[in-house]
Chain A
């Protein structure tokens, strides 16, 4: 519509700004809104398009980013009091690429402190789920999950170490893709999980995520672990025919005791839909997947904590959120021999998944075993040793094994609960390293055969909860 000039980028930016003004005081998806800058950029885009200089599918499209990605001259807080006034002098590589594509940065999204999850007290406002504001919008790309769902931007970028794109996507009823580590440059993101942090797209549908990934993917010499792998045409991969595809449903990551009946029902129905599209779907087992969560906590968390110890834990303990500092302090104390043994175990857990992917084009699970819980229940508490680990595992078992294996995984809506305020539930699809086009293809075919992505929260109704 923008290319054919049926919709003006300036008009579109104003629509989003009005919605932000109306709803975000309650939802708190943004930390910084770049109103004037976005309008100026939209005017430039409009003039370029009028002159016939259309740059491509994202030209004139307003987007937001998790406030973990550097933006030149614009505050980048990491959701922390420690960096509340920090202004970087350069853009993240993904921001550069989106700028070059003519996309318009609308603002910086709220997040769990330093993208770690477990934040108890949000310095920039308590984020709320647009489907039911008493519930959590999940962690840690929190605002980047809320804003597309609530129609406060066209799409967003999040960061996923364990499940930080996919869980907010699931909780807010949108699509979120964790790409293969190495597919998208990490340059300009404050991310210390040096072998697990990925930047990926979040949007209202699979097409939008494919379009965002198309622009941000590709090698970057400033990221030492950026892969030199060709970037395929993700948009062309979006077809509705899954004939001949083999899909494995992972028992240990889906049929887990205590899963919500709506999640179970939606998964059973998703299998039926995928089969109707021509895919062969069968249940399979990944015996070691349950170990992925503690192993990543003993390794990636320790990598992250090693940087924070030097930078701020020693000097600014009181300025950290209580939840963040407790988790980081724990990770600081992982003994080196344990770290080494955990890294070895990760190799085995990962290999089991890669071996399984020799027999299947893709693997599926529920993205989360429960719909988003209430904000109070979502706060991670520490009770006894066994109780704590049980809760930690249950919360992460569906997403973290894919992160530990470093395979791409996408989350997309596959149903709703029958609560008075129905909450979205989500399907997750993963595939081999650098096979983002496969997960996008399956997700697109599923999405086009279902109606879930067409449902949007009624913000006038849900935001009234707080005022009433």
Chain B
């Protein structure tokens, strides 16, 4: 895939996941924290890439879900 990865500022480790899950009253066993940290870091990293490419354009649109437009155009 053509999405180059770079060292990211937005990434989380096990200790962050532990704190974040505690904040939403969710308890995850210790041995399952790492996969969550890796998954979340991957998403945050890619969001940085998207921001760097589309950020200015993203400021110009509303975050409308892909359902209302069709409904609104209906008679």
Contact = CB atoms under 8 A, between A and B. Distances in A.
A280 B46 CA distance: 36
Interface residues of B, number: 46
A256 B1 contact: yes
Contact of B66 (A181, A294, A322, A393): A181
A347 interface: yes
Contacts of A294: 42-43, 46-47, 50
B26 A332 contact: yes
B42 A388 contact: yes
B40 A333 contact: yes
A397 B24 contact: no
Contact of A298 (B26, B47, B59, B61): B47
B65 A326 contact: no
Interface residues of A, number: 60
Interface of A is mostly: helix
B1 A393 contact: yes
B3 A347 contact: no
A405 B70 CA distance: 12
A385 interface: yes
A330 B51 CA distance: 20
Contacts, number: 146
B39 A343 contact: no
Interface in B34-74: 34-36, 38-47, 50-51, 54, 57-59, 61-67, 70-71, 74
Nearest to A327: B39
A350 interface: yes
A249 B64 CA distance: 27
Contacts of B46: 291, 294, 389
Given A180-B70, A227-B71, A340-B63, A388 B38 contact: yes
Given A309-B26, A327-B39, A332-B26, A341 B1 contact: no
A421 B18 CA distance: 46
Given A256-B1, A297-B43, A388-B39, A344 B62 contact: yes
B32 interface: yes
Could you say which of A180, A325, A341, A385 has the most chain B C-beta atoms within 10 Å of its C-beta?
A: A385
A406 B67 contact: yes
Nearest to A344: B58
Given A344-B63, A385-B42, A182 B35 contact: no
Contacts of B43: 294, 297-298, 330, 334, 338, 389
Nearest to A349: B54
Contacts of A384: 38
A468 to B, nearest CB: 36
Contact of B32 (A252, A291, A326, A333): A326
B2 A343 contact: no
Contact of A291 (B20, B34, B50): B50
Interface of B: 1-3, 5, 11-12, 17, 20-21, 24-29, 32, 34-36, 38-47, 50-51, 54, 57-59, 61-67, 70-71, 74-75
11 contacts: A227-B71, A256-B1, A290-B1, A290-B3, A333-B17, A334-B40, A338-B47, A341-B58, A345-B50, A346-B66, A385-B11
In the A-B complex, the 3 residue pairs with the closest CB atoms = A343-B63, A195-B65, A406-B66
Interface of A: 180-182, 194-196, 225, 227-229, 252, 256, 288, 290-291, 294-295, 297-298, 309, 313-314, 317, 322, 325-327, 329-330, 332-334, 338, 340-348, 350, 382-386, 388-390, 392-394, 397, 404-406, 433-434
